[in-house]
């Protein structure tokens, strides 16, 4: 084993959906830095193009692909056009923070369609080509909300739990063909999705205090987990959830008992 190349992704094609900004962009940049040939996919073509330009400016290889994850047929076409992808990373998500009794049917459908149905479609489409080639790694972003919840996060949490179970099932079904599937569960990360929380100092500080590290994450702090799960360093890792939450799910309450 040449451990100096354990995390290298040289010449491996990686399809990163959601690469137009935030965690997806940082994931694409990190994978490219390890030698991967990255397809920067996003509904936001301008954002994906900017990410590809950043990769190329650093000496990496990248292309751009516009894809709306709400279009199941478009996902199928993308998987066929990029059937040589060895890694799929998907980060797209939305949230409507409302209590269950206040949710409308339209809001429910919007969150479920983007967060859960797209995960199902992506895993199936890209998983089929990976199973056929007998290798690949699927990495989907869940959330700590798949495990712990709070008022106003019910539907979002349900979709993130579903994403975990879809990936675990993919791990079981695709594993005999050499395909791995794993979930990453971030804690609180400074992204456009969490902007409403950051705008409220009390809310922002309460979330920062919940984790063991006492602060929020920035998107680049999720990139290492993506590289690990995509690389040969994780060749025997499948069907798991990797928590990158600053200790949020390890800490039970915030009272600090007196010493002595």
Q: Which one of 156, 207, 236, 243 is the catalytic residue?
A: 156
Q: For position 256, what pLDDT does the model report? A: 74
Residue 27 has pLDDT above 80, yes or no: yes
Q: For position 196, what pLDDT does the model report? A: 84
Is 204 an active-site residue?
A: no
Q: For position 138, what pLDDT does the model report? A: 99
| pTM tops 0.85 | yes
Per-residue pLDDT band at 193 (split at 50, 70, 90): confident
Residue 1 has pLDDT above 90, yes or no: no
| Whole-number average pLDDT of the chain | 96
All domains in the chain, ordered by first residue = 10-248 (3.40.50.720)
Q: For position 231, what pLDDT does the model report? A: 98
- List, as one string, the DSSP characters of the chain: --GGGTT--TT-EEEEETTTSHHHHHHHHHHHHTT-EEEEEES-HHHHHHHHHHHHHTT-EEEEEE--TT-HHHHHHHHHHTTT-SEEEE---------GGG--HHHHHHHHIIIIIHHHHHHHHHHHHHHHHT-EEEEEE--GGGT---TT-HHHHHHHHHHHHHHHHHHHHHGGGTEEEEEEEE-SB-SGGGHHHHTSHHHHHHHHHHSTTSS-B-GGGGHHHHHHHHSGGGTT--S-EEEESTTGGG---S--PPP-
């Amino acid at each position: 084993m040449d451990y100096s190349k354990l995390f290298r992704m040289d010449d491996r094609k990686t399809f990163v959906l959601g690469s137009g900004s935030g965690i997806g962009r940082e994931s694409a940049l990190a994978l490219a830095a390890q030698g991967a040939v990255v397809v920067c996919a996003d509904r936001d073509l301008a954002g994906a193009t900017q990410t590809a330009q950043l990769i190329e400016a650093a000496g990496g290889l990248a292309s751009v692909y516009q894809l709306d994850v709400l279009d199941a047929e478009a996902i199928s076409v993308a998987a066929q056009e990029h059937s040589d992808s060895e890694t799929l990373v998907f980060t797209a998500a939305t949230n409507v923070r409302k209590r269950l009794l206040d949710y409308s049917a339209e809001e429910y459908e919007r969150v479920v369609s983007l967060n859960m149905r797209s995960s199902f479609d992506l895993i199936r489409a890209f998983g089929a080509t990976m199973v056929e080639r007998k290798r690949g790694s699927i990495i989907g972003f869940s959330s700590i909300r798949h495990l712990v919840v709070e008022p106003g996060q019910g539907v979002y949490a349900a979709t993130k739990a579903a994403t975990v179970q879809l990936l675990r099932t993919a791990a079981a079904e695709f594993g005999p063909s050499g395909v791995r599937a794993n979930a990453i569960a971030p804690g609180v990360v400074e992204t456009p999705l969490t902007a409403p929380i950051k705008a409220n100092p009390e809310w922002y500080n309460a979330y920062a205090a919940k984790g063991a590290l006492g602060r929020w994450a920035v998107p680049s702090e999720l990139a290492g987990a993506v590289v690990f799960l995509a690389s040969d360093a994780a060749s025997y890792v499948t069907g798991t959830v990797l928590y990158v939450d600053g200790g949020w799910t390890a800490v039970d309450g915030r009272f600090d008992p007196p010493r002595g």
